[in-house]
A = this chain, B = another copy of it.
Amino acid sequence: MNQGPTEREGESAEPLRYLSKLEAVAIETELLKDYRFGKQQLIEIWGHACAIAIVKAFPLSSLGKRQPTVLVVCGPGQNGCIGLVCARHLRIFEYAPTIFYPKRSSDSLNQDLMVQCERMDIPSLSYLPTEVQLLNDAYNLVVDAVLGPEADPAELGEPHAGILLTLKQVKIPIASLDMPSGWEVEGDNADGINPEVLISLIAPKKCAVGFSGKHYLAGRFLPFDIQRKYELNLPEYSGTDCLVEL
């Protein structure tokens, strides 16, 4: 069972696995319950890795606007928390993130992550302009941290349904965290938002099979046993990199 540590592990010539919604939820539950990872710990790992992916996809030197502005749109759940951590690390990487986080959870983890951003002078918008030209003019890109695979887009209420409508119209690039918000994990998403960059966490979801933009797998911490159990066939990371382009 236990392979020697000098062999490469979790690596295979088999094709990369794309996760169903049930599988994505099952893996995360296993990490939290059996491996006793903390939510705070996972969200920090993921948010940090997402920020590095964004730097890779949109280096400071490539940004067209005078200021390295980034709008980070955060949803009410875990995807939004990852967005908050991502914004904080983008600030450390000398970007100028602005947060839009309209429906704030009363959960202490969400609140703590928001305080960290506020104390680091990251501004937040009180509302999202519906005039998309304002967004196109003000920001170099949008980070979509609205909904993750655990969310049900069919049950999406306001303000998030309106936010997705706005994101469908913006002309600046969108980078989606884990999956494009509003997409069904296993459905037809021709009518959804259209990100240029997708940063998959744990493993890509089924909806990403035909994704034609830049696609990263980020967050390198997944126990080898889980990789094997779910036959993820993850690609090999280079050196100590925490992400790999798919």
Q: Which residues of A line the B interface, CB within 8 A?
A: 2, 4-6, 8-9, 34-38, 40-41, 44-45, 48, 51-52, 55-56, 66-68, 88-89, 91-96, 109, 111-112, 115-116, 119-121, 220-221, 223-225, 239-240
Contact = CB atoms under 8 A, between A and B. Distances in A.
Given A36-B112, A120-B223, 18 more contacts: A5-B96, A6-B66, A6-B67, A6-B96, A9-B94, A35-B116, A35-B119, A35-B120, A36-B115, A36-B116, A36-B119, A37-B112, A40-B41, A51-B240, A92-B220, A92-B221, A93-B240, A120-B224
A57 to B, nearest CB: 12
**Total copies of the chain:** 2
A239 B55 contact: yes
A225 B121 contact: yes
A244 B66 CA distance: 29
Contacts of A91: 5
A34 B93 contact: no
A235 to B, nearest CB: 14
Contacts of A111: 36
A8 B94 contact: yes
Q: Which of A92, A121, A220 has the most CB of B within 10 A?
A: A92
Contacts of A51: 240
Contact of A5 (B38, B94, B239, B240): B94
Contacts of A48: 45
8 contacts: A4-B67, A5-B67, A9-B94, A35-B116, A36-B111, A36-B112, A38-B112, A44-B44
A89 B51 CA distance: 19
Contacts of A8: 94
Q: Which 3 A-B pairs have the closest CB atoms?
A: A5-B96, A36-B112, A36-B115
